[in-house]
Structure 1
Amino acid sequence: MSKLDKEYFDNDETGEKTITFEDPSDIYDDFYAKIYDQLFSTPERISFEKTMIEANALAAWPIAETKILDACCGTSPHSEWLCKTEVDIVGVDISEAMLTRARQKCSRARFYRGDVSRTETFPPKTFSHAMLLYFSIYQFQNPKLVFDNLYTWMKPGGVLVVHLVNPDKFDPILDAASPFVAFSLQKYSKERVMDSEISFDQFNYKSRFIKDKEKEGATFEEIVTYQDPSKNEGNKYRENKHRMFMPSLDAMMDIIASSGFSRHEMVDMVTAGFEYQYLMFFTK
């Protein structure tokens, strides 16, 4: 356990049992899938993204010709409203636990366990649209490979929407931990606030975003403190470490362009309370 981890736990008694996950295939298990939407998929964010996606990606396309890929879909919060339309929806994620939750939101959508960094995951020219939302692209050490694959899988004229941020300025406090909707503590703090804390019935959740100022790497650490370790295989703490690759906004857009995409629209999410976060729309 690192010094930082010890400082961040409720206590640092050496006798407490801790389980640590660093591989995404381990992090996104049944426990994490159950709390994921409460942590990250707030109604305000989903509603804003829905409005922007409808206006900038779907409006010009006939329903019969629309086939959407929800890449790295997780629990696929957007499939819930897309399911009410007649568009064809396909989701892909590495976590079966997350996909199980996604299927509950839209039974007619098709959800597959797969890796978007592997070219053979889908045939060429399959989709009219693709979505890569909520920090998903930053989980890949080689985002160029992902965008190359998306370009291959999309039809000519297709629309890609990607969630991007300014890694040095966006607010890393989780939406669910913010005291008010569309409120940022960063405006009232001399130093960038990196920590979030949320209380659940049977455990306490904390997270911390750590950006490497000299390089393009970052770490998102989560620590769950269980009230009753006996119900969690004797573990008092669960620690998740997400390793992220976060180049500058301009550098990431250059990577996307190098895969063949043309920038179509840039939507600033500040009006929804997400400063230095953007929905970027590209066309093939």
Structure 2
Amino acid sequence: MNFSKIYTRIENKLKKLPVWFHLVILLAIIYILVCIYKQMLPVREGFIDQKENFVVKKGLDLYDDFYVNIYDQLFYRELSNIYEVGSIENITKPTTESNILVIGSGTGHIVNTFNEQNYNVTGLEESSAMVNYSKNEYPGLNFKVGSPVKAMTFNPGQFTHIVCLNLTFYYYKNKMQFLQNIYNWLKPGGYFVVQLVDKNKFDPVVPAAKPFVMVNPQSFSENRITTSNVVFNNFDYKADFQTFPNDFVQFREIFKDTTPGSNKVRENSHKMWIPQRQNVINMAKETGFITYAEVDLLMAQMEYQYLYVFQKPE
């Protein structure tokens, strides 16, 4: 990749922009500096405690205390989350009588955002470390350890809304079982909101690794950027989003201890299955859902990512 060409393209485009846009860029830079400062804060649990020099974590094992404690620093996008929740509210019109389930609730922020609007909301996570973290962050909220592909996790007709954001849906290979459970857990007339992406077009760079907030580097790159690099105060982070000809995707994260004299390295290996969007729509229809709405997340700085709203018939 020729970074000098990319820089020249950005520079030429910025020169043509109005003064107000430069002010926005300045604010964005300040925001980035704040984010960098946060990344330099000490991490509560370090992988440097591992005995082996090289460790590979897979599946639920990678969601340990170390990873959970740095998760927000890598992935949290507050403005995007607010935009998504606002879109869901505008389309599905929940009330204080609604009962909302968030699948893949992570560190609890989406659950808290819904709760702030006085909705009844439950967060579901397969990782007990994630649930423990969420309960510590938001002690008054409801979080549950469980799997969306296990039918007995909830009762039939328990929820008015079920929400599945980020890439959570793609971590489950058996998507028909996933959708059937969602359908059964919803009340008649209930909504299932899922975030879908175009596998070969969306931006897989983790938020912490993006040099600009208001400008997407993908727009200035001849080739799609799939790698991420972030420097923390005691380790370096690298990630790579690897696609294959079929639906399979591997997201690899490498943590290298930078403590003097240490050679310790940790690798997280995430497996996902990302089919074409139309294939997911077809599966939802086969399950019994009606396609209710679609939201392009471009305004939330997530190009080629979408919210799909499916409704269970009355």
Q: In 2, distance between residues paired with 1:228 and 1:94?
A: 32
State the 1:109 CA deviation. 2.3
- Of 165, 179, 185, which residue of structure 2 is paired with 1:133? 165
Is the partner of 1:208 in helix, strand or coil? Answer: strand
- Of 73, 86, 93, which residue of structure 2 is paired with 1:51? 86
Distance 1:191 1:152, change over 3 A: same
1:1-284 equivalences in 2 (<5 Å): 17-22=53-58, 24-57=59-92, 59=93, 61-64=94-97, 66-212=98-244, 214-228=245-259, 236-284=264-312
Larger radius of gyration, structure 1 or 2?
2
State the match for 1:13 in structure 2.
none
* Superposed CA RMSD: 1.7
Q: In 2, distance between residues paired with 1:84 and 1:139?
A: 28
Q: Is the 8 A contact 2:230 2:236 kept in 1?
A: yes
Q: In 1, distance between residues paired with 2:77 and 2:256?
A: 23
Q: Deviations over 1:76-130 (max 9, x none)?
A: 2212222223221111111111111222343332211111110011110000101
Q: In 2, distance between residues paired with 1:151 and 1:139?
A: 19
Q: In 2, distance between residues paired with 1:112 and 1:182?
A: 36
Q: Deviations over 1:225-281 (max 9, x none)?
A: 112389xxx761110111110111111221222221111111101122211000111
Unaligned 5+ segments in structure 1 are: 1-15
Q: Is the 8 A contact 2:125 2:146 kept in 1?
A: yes
Is the partner of 1:63 in helix, strand or coil? Answer: coil
Q: Which amino acid aligns with 2:84?
A: E
Q: In 2, distance between residues paired with 1:182 and 1:221?
A: 26
State the 1:181 CA deviation. 1.5
Q: Is the 8 A contact 2:247 2:274 kept in 1?
A: yes
Q: In 2, distance between residues paired with 1:177 and 1:268?
A: 23
Q: Is the 8 A contact 2:161 2:191 kept in 1?
A: yes
Unaligned 5+ segments in structure 2 are: 1-51
Q: Which amino acid aligns with 1:215?
A: N
Q: Which amino acid aligns with 1:260?
A: G
Q: Is the 8 A contact 2:195 2:308 kept in 1?
A: yes
State the 1:46 CA deviation. 1.3
Distance 1:105 1:283, change over 3 A: farther
Q: Percent identical across equivalent pairs?
A: 33
Q: Is the 8 A contact 2:108 2:138 kept in 1?
A: no
What TM-score do you get using the length of structure 1 for normalisation? 0.87
Q: In 2, distance between residues paired with 1:38 and 1:53?
A: 25
Q: Is the 8 A contact 2:99 2:161 kept in 1?
A: yes
What TM-score do you get using the length of structure 2 for normalisation? 0.79
User: Which has the larger helix fraction?
Assistant: 2
Q: In 1, distance between residues paired with 2:286 and 2:204?
A: 28
Is the partner of 2:139 in helix, strand or coil? Answer: coil
Count of paired positions: 261
Q: Is the 8 A contact 1:83 1:108 kept in 2?
A: no
Q: Is the 8 A contact 1:125 1:154 kept in 2?
A: yes
